[in-house]
A and B are shown apart, each in its own frame.
Chain A
Amino acid sequence: MGRLRNLLIPGVDKSLLLKDAVKTMPDLTRRRFISGGASLGALTLLTGCDVTDSFSAEEMLKQVSKFNDGVQAWMFNPDAMAPTFPESAITKPFPFNAYYSLDEAPEIEAKDWKLEVRGLVENKKSWTLEELYKLPQVKQVTRHICVEGWSAIGSWTGTPLRDFLKIVGADTRAKYVWFQCADKDGYNSPLDMRSALHAQTQMTFKFGDEILPRAYGFPMKIRVPTKLGFKNPKYVLSMEVTNDYKGGFWEDQGYNSFSGS
């Protein structure tokens, strides 16, 4: 830190200089940099240790989060169903939630869209929406819980993901199903195989008995009532069955990767 201070030009406001430097960074880096800095600041206040020590605190937090992934996988009971609710309990209006405004939500033309299926599957053919709509569907009224803390009850209808994985001949011994989406900046998220095979995990085509509207992820979202909201990708373009941990939009920024509920 001392060396860094000496490098600064006398008479130049340090905080302004820092602001300019931060502005030149790409968006994601900036977000992580700011978050890191702020938590470091708080830790320094608390323990009086210097900044180099606190970088290892961030490393420690990451390790604990990985440990928590393991604990949650251990706690996960494939037979435990998320509580279901009567239709009268549905939250109206159901909130639109994303890291962008509704105007910026992907606008997908049904006829141009195909679901790409990749990785450890026997049949890698892409699926049109028309083909997917022919698969048997089930409805669930469950609680969507956001990582922010709020929750809302919604009605989702679609094909259980495990049925689809069977149809495409997926290797269900693989570790993850990784989804890529059309959201701006490219949303993606990994889903551990045991959660993917849970009876209530669904390829969702309808919300409240109507074709899934743009706000909730048209043409297809993945509804996982045993996970926090950000693990329920919308505007899905492709799914890949894989043994590799490919990271995710929020997971890479520090949200716990398992995030089971």
Chain B
Amino acid sequence: MSSIAASDEQASTKAAAKATRAKVIQPAWVRALHWTNAFAMVLMIMSGWQIYNASPLFGFTFSSSITLGGWLGGGLLWHFAAMWLLMVNGLIYLALGLATGRFRKKLLPITREGVLADTKAALTGKLSHEDLTKYNYVQKLLYAGIIVVGIVIVLSGLAIWKPVQLQYLTAMFGGYEAARYVHFFCMAAIVAFMVVHVVLALLVPKSLRAMIVGR
């Protein structure tokens, strides 16, 4: 009698635990890596703008109110310190994303039809955000795309940093000067992504909540 009750109880606890687990939208490792990445990215971008200002590629510079480091030397110190955080964090993310199958499950497949249909739905305000565990095709495309941009910005950064020791990498980007432009445009893409990403997270607050508390 008591054993049956106990096993019943166990079963219901298990079911409850399973339900809770199912409700977890963003697992803890994703959340930790996401916010670490956000912090490192902001440091990299603001110090990168400081470095850019020393020798601008285009006819503009970034206001000193949004740069980090105070002068070129300070910007470089920040950039080459935050890069370790960004790279180590990014490598862990890529490793876990591949090993756990998260990338495959969450981001694939990306179909042209799906992207077009979801873009249309989004623009007409008909895109549902009911189930946050499933990304729509626009999300899939953007999240997969930003991972690729993240890889390219790190590689182009290494190509600029070490054009002699890593000269094959630098050559792959079309040489030192070309690598600087690649690095800049990747930054621009990430900033554009961040703007859209933050605005949408604020428009769908439960997605922001999920990235903070997990559900």
> How many residues does chain B have at the interface if contact means C-beta atoms less than 8 Å apart?
33
State whether A254 and B176 are in contact (beta carbons under 8 Å apart), knowing that A65-B80, A80-B164, A261-B163 are contacts in the complex.
no
Output the least CB separation between B179 and chain A (Å): 11
CA distance A13 to B128 in the complex (A): 56
Chain A neighbourhood of B167, CB < 8 A: 80, 82-83
Cβ-based interface call for A77 (8 A):
yes
B3-58 contacts to A (CB < 8 Å) = 42-43, 46, 51-52, 54-55
In the complex, which of the residues A38, A64, A226, A261 contacts B81, with contact meaning CB atoms closer than 8 Å? Answer: A64
CA distance A225 to B162 in the complex (A): 12
- B81 pairs with A75, CB closer than 8 A: no
Output the least CB separation between B82 and chain A (Å): 9
- B84 pairs with A64, CB closer than 8 A: yes
Output the least CB separation between B166 and chain A (Å): 8
- B70 pairs with A260, CB closer than 8 A: no
CA distance A81 to B84 in the complex (A): 27
CA distance A62 to B55 in the complex (A): 24
Stretch of B71-79, B103-111, B201-209 lying at the A interface: B71-79
Chain B neighbourhood of A169, CB < 8 A: none
In the complex, which of the residues A31, A61, A250 contacts B78, with contact meaning CB atoms closer than 8 Å? Answer: A61
CA distance A39 to B160 in the complex (A): 24
In the complex, which of the residues B46, B84, B164 contacts A226, with contact meaning CB atoms closer than 8 Å? Answer: B164
Minimal Cβ-Cβ distance residue in A for B66: A42
State whether A149 and B67 are in contact (beta carbons under 8 Å apart), knowing that A39-B78, A77-B165, A255-B76 are contacts in the complex.
no
Output the least CB separation between A176 and chain B (Å): 20
State whether A150 and B55 are in contact (beta carbons under 8 Å apart), knowing that A260-B164, A261-B163 are contacts in the complex.
yes
- Name, among A43, A61, A76, the residue most crowded by chain B CB atoms within 10 Å (CB to CB): A61
- B74 pairs with A145, CB closer than 8 A: no
- B165 pairs with A75, CB closer than 8 A: yes
Chain A neighbourhood of B76, CB < 8 A: 147, 254-256
Output the least CB separation between B91 and chain A (Å): 16
- A83 pairs with B164, CB closer than 8 A: yes
Chain B neighbourhood of A35, CB < 8 A: 69-71, 73-74
CA distance A256 to B42 in the complex (A): 22
Cβ-based interface call for A238 (8 A):
no
- B81 pairs with A151, CB closer than 8 A: no
State whether A82 and B164 are in contact (beta carbons under 8 Å apart), knowing that A64-B77, A151-B177 are contacts in the complex.
yes
Output the least CB separation between B169 and chain A (Å): 12
Output the least CB separation between B159 and chain A (Å): 11
CA distance A35 to B64 in the complex (A): 12
Chain A neighbourhood of B140, CB < 8 A: none
- A147 pairs with B81, CB closer than 8 A: no
Chain A neighbourhood of B51, CB < 8 A: 149
> Which residues of chain B have a CB within 8 Å of any CB of chain A?
42-43, 46, 51-52, 54-55, 64, 67-74, 76-78, 80-81, 84, 160-165, 167, 171, 176-177, 180
> Which residues of chain A have a CB within 8 Å of any CB of chain B?
31, 34-39, 41-43, 46, 60-62, 64-65, 68, 75-77, 80-83, 143, 145-151, 225-226, 250, 253-256, 260-261
Q: List 17 A-B contacts (CB under 8 A).
A: A35-B69, A37-B70, A39-B69, A41-B70, A46-B42, A46-B68, A61-B77, A64-B77, A75-B162, A143-B163, A143-B176, A147-B72, A149-B55, A151-B177, A253-B73, A254-B77, A256-B76
